[in-house]
Structure 1
Amino acid sequence: MTISTDTILYEKREGIGYVTLNRPDSMNALNRELSAGLREALAEIRDDPEVVLGIIIGAGGRAFSAGMDLKERASLDSKGERPSLDPRGAGSFVDMGVYKPLIAAIDGFCVAGGLEVSLQCDIRIATKKSEFGLPEPRWSILAGYGLHNLNR
């Protein structure tokens, strides 16, 4: 099975569900569309008995994900709309009942919400050029979701 949108690519091969965050021009920033697509792809992994594990990848080689799409957030703020992502989207895989092993294949920046997505995976594998960070505390912002998965 293959799911393809502008922001998420999903492909099943040999029992593995490959999910690609596909916004390389924005360092795979998490916007509403990507969040919904990620939720759909994870539901596919959860519900397909032939899939035994999932691998999440960031497209482009610059970043796994740079976190929330701040341009989309500013646009929503200016319209008076709530800037948050769908809380069921990139928020929590456990809340979705995805109990199959998930692997984050990290190449490049993995920061803010992108770090939180990776922390919800069972295994994180990173290239030497990968960089991790959580900038929210610098601006007195509470990190949104998934930080409680950070291991000591």
Structure 2
Amino acid sequence: MRTIAAAMAACVAAGCATSQRTDAPTVVRTKAPAHYQETVTNYFDIMMRGPQTNRKLAFGSPEASDCAIHGSGGYHQGWMVPVIYDTSPVTSTAPTVKGAKTSTSGTAAANKPVQATVNDDGVASATLSEVKISGKGYFFWFSSDTIAAVTRRADSCPP
């Protein structure tokens, strides 16, 4: 009987000593990659076979990712950088559209003027309408300045 009473007292004491925490889990995110353009360029230099004549890389800006990326400190949230890899041959005569401007890469720019906006921190960004970009899309997943994964789709997390 004493054993049962002691066991019950221990269970009650243990139940009172623990409390349920309702704190939200802390999200740990690495710093944004600083030299991602150089890192991605080096990746293509190493991974693509044969000559890369007429290679053009178009970089998007790093986007915060909710995917769990494995890094030196375990799993955390990293960054995703969209990149377009294009090796199409340069044409000597670019198609012209009435009223459109032509960029230095030979692609027709938008018929509408560029709409520039300046953020609070003084960084300007511009958007174009009706711009066609060709090439293969790649998504580079970064843990700080290190490539953690490369995928062809942005809508799923890397393995």
After TM superposition, the score normalised by the length of structure 2 is: 0.23
Max radius of gyration: which structure?
2
